[in-house]
Amino acid sequence: MKKIYLFSLAFVLSLSSVAQTKSSDAGRIVLNTVVPEQIEGLTGTAKANLENKLSQIATKNGMGGSALNPRFVLAANVIVQTKDITPTAPPMHAYTIEVTLFIGDGIEGTKFASTSVTLKGVGETETKAYMMALKNLKVNDAKYQTFIETGKKKIVDYYIAKCDFIIKEAQQLASRAEYDAAIAKLVAVPEVCKECYDKAMDAVAPIFKQQIDRTCKLNLASATTVWNAGQNSDAASEAGKLLSVIDPNSSCFADAKSLSDQIAKRVLELDKREWDFEMKQYNDQISLEKATIQAARDIGVAYGENQPQTVTYNYDVWGWW
């Protein structure tokens, strides 16, 4: 079957239905769930419990997952309204708390939506009463659907307003050879923001090409150095690892293939055997599309996962509570 080496990246990236689950979060609106440390009475266990509740609410409403963009948050605040001792034997602690959920831009501090619920809990200690009240936060409450949809619409509006700026930022990153960062910024545009998403995919194409061209040149140079230094089975194995990640659509792929052929010929002369290595290739259009989408998404996901946690949300200046 004819091998396909040329393609339109903008076209194949738009075929999101074939993308792998791991990297599909890159193209969706995903909320970062955060709970501030300053909440009254919030122990480490209670904080983890509340964060888990927020994650469940986001997931049940289609906005859970691994977020590349830390900007948009689902946050919570807890206010203790009453603390009482019950007239029972033994006496119990009774708490009434108000939990308010917020969706917004955690970087700029813009609140998009909020909703509140009053919860009660009883326990042998204040901590247990507090935890019991939080436990009564129902993640399936129908009110969260409207709340989430309101926040989602405001996030879409954000991308509509900021689209040209996002693309310009990505292009500036690419001009400094920060290709992974540029691709991550563009593939994080949610597909639901269709107009901006289409523009972002158009902008990804040339940056992705620059990225694979640069990777090809670096790996080819390294593979050539390794092979020239050894020209034996070990050198062939090491060079093969470098050549194996070169994209068939990169500008130096033909040179990489030529080096691969040279190595294979020498291995045959030395060991009287075929070199167990083949350059990356696509056997048909479908496999090409899948591989390309996966590559672009994975670049964004890998870049996001490898970044240090540098985002600090300053709740005090937001004015949300």
CA quadruple 261, 262, 265, 271: dihedral sign: negative
Give 133's pLDDT tier (boundaries 50, 70, 90).
very high
CA distance 313 to 295: 31
Give 71's pLDDT tier (boundaries 50, 70, 90).
confident
Cβ–Cβ < 8 Å for 106, 73: yes
Strand partners, 110: 105
Task: Among 12-21, 121-130, 152-161, 296-305, name the one with the lowest average pLDDT.
Answer: 12-21
Angle at which helix 233-243 crosses helix 253-271, to 10 degrees, equals: 160
CA distance 241 to 31: 38
User: What is the average per-residue pLDDT within 155-180?
Assistant: 95
The torsion region of residue 41 among left (phi > 0), alpha (psi -120 to 50) and beta comes to: left
CATH code, residues 18-160+310-318: 3.30.160
How confident is the model at residue 229, as a pLDDT? 94
How many C-beta atoms lie closer than 10 Å to residue 133's C-beta? Answer: 25
Over residues 244-269, the pLDDT tens digits come to: 989 888 899 999 999 999 999 988 88
**Would you state the structure tokens that stand for residue 223, as one six-digit string?**
């593979």
Q: Is the confidence at residue 118, as pLDDT, over 90?
A: yes
How confident is the model at residue 319, as a pLDDT? 76
How confident is the model at residue 263, as a pLDDT? 92
Q: The pTM is what?
A: 0.73
